[in-house]
């Protein structure tokens, strides 16, 4: 695994083809949950800013990240509006919670783990945008491709901050969370979501 390369190279496994098929079968849920993911990403960045107020480089990077994620949220809302999709409540996938179950309690280990999880989530989002784009209509495909640059930078920001704040090499923690991430991505899910596994 190339930990310094592209988001896809960082991930432990590719998205299953069956998930792609499910995404194309549920275009409305895909848009709604994509919007939810952008909101959650902004909220994660803000939570880090409020919890770790003494980390100036983290504050700057997370401030920019939160603004960009909220802008993406607004853009997805525009697609939802133009396509007459009803924005309804969706239960969250088990993905983020499943990753966070392995968080250490003590600092700076907890922060390092949160940042590694952030890198994995951003990397997976990038990979799914890239995999979905060839199957979508031109307007949505162009939008998903346009997200790749910022999402890829978010992945690098999270990973670089994790390395900066760690008191020891983080490869073991990356391997720990990558193993769980692969399980969550490959295990069948009862409900389709942007970060779900393939449908059961």
The alpha carbon of 85 is separated from its chain's Cα centroid by a whole number of angstroms, namely: 23
Instruction: Count up the domains in the chain and report the number.
Output: 1
Q: Where on the phi/psi map is residue 84: left (φ > 0), alpha (ψ -120 to 50), or beta?
A: left
Rounded Cα distance between 132 and 160, Å, is 27
Read off the CATH number of the domain in which 131 is found: 1.20.1260.10
Domain membership flag for residue 117: yes
193 DSSP assignment: -
Structural domain span for residue 88: 16-186
Judge whether 30 lies within some domain: yes
pLDDT in tens, 14-59: 999 999 999 999 999 999 999 999 999 999 999 999 999 999 999 9
Among 144, 132, 120, smallest CA distance to 17 is for 132
Please count the residues of the chain. Answer: 200
156 in any annotated domain:
yes
- Round the average pLDDT of the chain to a whole number and report it: 96
φ and ψ of 189, to 5 deg: -120, 150
The whole-model pTM stands at 0.95
Q: What is the pLDDT of residue 2?
A: 40
In a domain, 58, yes or no: yes
Burial of 103 by CB count in 10 Å (0-12 exposed, 13-18 middle, 19+ buried)? middle
% of the chain exceeding 70 in pLDDT: 98
């Amino acid at each position: 695994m190339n930990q310094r390369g592209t988001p896809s190279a960082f991930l432990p496994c590719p998205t299953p083809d069956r998930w792609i098929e499910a995404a194309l079968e549920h275009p409305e849920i895909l848009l709604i949950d994509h919007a939810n993911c952008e909101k959650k990403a902004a909220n994660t960045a803000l939570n880090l800013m409020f919890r770790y107020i003494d980390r100036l480089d983290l504050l700057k990077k997370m401030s920019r990240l939160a603004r960009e994620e909220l802008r993406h949220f607004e853009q997805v809302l525009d697609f939802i509006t133009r396509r007459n999709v009803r924005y309804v409540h969706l239960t969250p996938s088990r993905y983020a919670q499943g990753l966070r179950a392995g968080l250490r309690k003590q600092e700076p280990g907890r922060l390092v783990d949160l940042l590694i999880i952030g890198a994995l989530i951003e990397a997976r989002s990038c990979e799914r945008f890239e995999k979905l784009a060839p199957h979508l209509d031109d307007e949505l495909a162009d939008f998903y491709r346009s997200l790749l640059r910022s999402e890829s930078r978010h992945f690098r920001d999270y990973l670089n901050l994790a390395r900066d704040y760690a008191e020891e090499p983080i490869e073991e923690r990356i391997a720990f969370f990558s193993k769980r991430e692969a399980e969550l991505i490959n295990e069948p899910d009862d409900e389709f979501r942007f970060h779900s596994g393939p449908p059961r």
